[in-house]
Structure 1
Amino acid sequence: MPLRDAVDATQRRLVRAALDACGGNWADAARRLDVDPSNLHKLARRLGLK
């Protein structure tokens, strides 16, 4: 598996896990992942989660 695909898969898994743990609340998930909420939204769009 190419490195980029592995990184994307890992990020996708972590974002989904954070959203599940936070009941779908994006702001709480961003805090849990220690990222800016706007960056989390951009990442989610790139990963196909939004």
Structure 2
Amino acid sequence: MAQYLEASKQASKQASKQASKQASKQASKQASKQASKQASKQASKQAKV
């Protein structure tokens, strides 16, 4: 039983780490996309004026 608990604890730790890594990657990708979009919008607005 103790072994099972240990394995379960490990798996949970791994899954949590994985999920956190993924979420962070996604958020970073999102932010970068947004920033790029904003910058491009700004630049085009500037060029027009």
Return the TM-score normalized by structure 2: 0.45
Return the index of the structure with the highest Cα Rg. 2
Q: Which has the higher helix share?
A: 2
Return the TM-score normalized by structure 1: 0.44
